[in-house]
Amino acid sequence: MARWVAIGLLLSGCGENVYDELELMPSPTVYVEGDLDPFNDQAARQVLSHTQLFYATDRRVAGPNDKQTYYANDRGIALRTGLVDVKMTPPATSWQDLQQISQTAERDIERTLRVSTVHEFGPMPFSSGDEQGRPLPEQATREAARAFTQSIDRQLAQSGNQDVFIYVHGYNVDFEYPTLVSKELQHFLGYQGAFISYNWPATPSRLAYIRDLETAGATRRNLRKLVELLSDKTQAQRVHLIGYSAGSRLVFEVAYQIALQNQASGKRQAKLGQVILIGSDLDRTYFTQALADGLLEGMDHLTIYMSSSDAALNLSRIMFGRNRLGQVAAKDEVPAGIENLLKAEPRLSLIDASNALGADLGNGHWYFRSSPWASSDIFVSLLKGLSPAARGLARVQDSAVWQFPADYPERLKSGLTAY
C-alpha cells in the first residue's frame, strides 16, 4: 500500500499542477524565427478582438457550498457548452504588444492568463439527463445547442478558417487550468477556426490518478457526441482532437469508436481531421489492436508524441508494469514486422520529442508547452498539414519514428520555404 501512495504523490505530471493563473508558454520557434506568422493575414484590430474561447464540460455545476466558482471537481451527467473570457496581465493593447508576446524568445515582462468570466449556453440535447438523472427539458437543450453551433459558425466565418480544434487535458486539474492552456493554444494558432476546451471532470489531487482514468473513460460518449454535433450542425470542415496525458486515452477511445461506427455504417460520418496524442499513457498493445481494427479509417491523420525524459510516464509504467504509448521504444523492442507496417502507413506519425529544446524541463511531461520546438511542430502540423519531413524532422534510421535533429530550426525554415 505504501508503494502505491508514494507513486501517487510523485505522479504529479500526468496532468498539470492546479493554478487559477498561468504564465504564457514560450513563443514557438517557428514564430520567433519569422518562418510563419499566424496573424499575417488579419488586421491587428481583428486579432485583438478574437477573444471567444469555447468550452464543453461534464463537470457538475458549482453550487453555493462549493469552493469552485464555475464548475465543481466531480462528475455531472450533462455536457454543457459555453464561452469563457480569459484576461492577460498585463494586457496586449497594441499590435506591437501582440508581436512581442508571440514572436520573441525572451519577453520583456511576464504575461499571465486568468479566467475572468464564463457564459454557459446550457446542456446539449444528447445529454442523458441532469445531475439527478432526470430528463432535461427538450426546448432548453435545443436552444442551447443552437446558440452553441451558431456561435461556432460565426467564429469560423470571422477567422476564415473552417477547422475546429478541441484540447482534452490530463488528470489532476480543475476547470480553470486547462481552460487557460486552451487559451494559449488558441492564441498561438492565430485564432484560426474555432477552439474548444473540453473539460472532463478530473480531480485536482495527485492521488486521483486511477479514479481520473476511470472518469476519463466514462465521459467518452459526451466527447464523441460533441464531435458528431460539430460535424452535423456546423460549417466545420474538420474537427481536430489534441489529447494530453490521461486525456489522450479519452481522445483515443472517441477516435476508435468513430472508426468502428464508420465501418458499421459504410461511410465516414464524423469530420475527424488530425488526432494528436501527447504524453499518452495508453497501453501499446491496445493501440496496435485498434490499428488492426481500422482506427486510422476514421480520421485524416494520427500523430503520437513521445519522450524518453517523461518522468510521469516512467511512473505510469511502474504502476501498470508495461511501457506506455508516449514512451520511446528501445532499440529492437518493436518487432520488425510491426515496425515496417508503421513506417509504411502515411496516416500515422510517431514523433520522439526527447531532443527538442526544452522538452526535459520539469518532469519532462508537459513538453508541448515547455519546448518551443515541440510546440512549433504541433502548430505547423495543424495549420499547414505538412508531413514530418517537410516540418524539419528527421527519420530515425531503420525506424518508424521521427525526431528533432540538432539543426531543426534551419530544416524547418527550409521546409516552409519550399512549401
CA distance 226 to 217: 15
Dump pLDDT digits (tens) for 125-158: 999 887 777 888 999 999 999 999 999 999 999 8
Residue 246: all three cell numbers together: 490521461
Residue 208: all three cell numbers together: 486521483
386 within 8 A of 380, measured Cβ to Cβ: yes
Q: Write down the mean pLDDT value for the chain.
A: 90
> CA distances (Å), 372 to each of 27, 99, 272, 392, in order?
6, 16, 27, 14
Q: Can you give the pLDDT at residue 130?
A: 78
Q: Can you give the pLDDT at residue 141?
A: 96
CA distance 261 to 267: 9
Dump pLDDT digits (tens) for 233-267: 999 999 999 999 999 999 999 999 999 999 998 88
Q: Can you give the pLDDT at residue 11?
A: 44
Top-level class of domain 52-86+116-418: alpha beta
What is residue 65's three-state secondary structure? coil
Count Cβ atoms below 10 Å from residue 16 Cβ, excluding itself: 25
350 within 8 A of 277, measured Cβ to Cβ: no
Q: Does the pLDDT of residue 45 top 50, yes or no?
A: yes
CA distance 227 to 124: 12
Q: Which residues pair with 83 in a beta bridge?
A: 54, 119
In 3D space, the residue among 414, 342, 347 whose CA is nearest the CA of residue 387 turns out to be: 347
Residue 406: all three cell numbers together: 540538432
* DSSP assigned state of 295: G
pLDDT-derived band at 43 (thresholds 50, 70, 90) equals low
Q: Does the pLDDT of residue 42 top 80, yes or no?
A: no
In 3D space, the residue among 355, 350, 380 whose CA is nearest the CA of residue 367 turns out to be: 355
* DSSP assigned state of 269: -
Provide the sign of the torsion angle of the four alpha carbons 35, 37, 38, 42, taken in this order: negative
The mean per-residue pLDDT over the stretch 100-116 comes to: 91
Lowest mean pLDDT among 23-27, 43-47, 111-115, 369-373: 43-47
Answering whether pTM is above 0.85, one says yes
Tell me the percentage of the chain whose pLDDT exceeds 70: 93
CA distance 114 to 210: 29
Q: Can you give the pLDDT at residue 2?
A: 41
Lowest mean pLDDT among 12-16, 168-172, 200-204, 378-382: 12-16
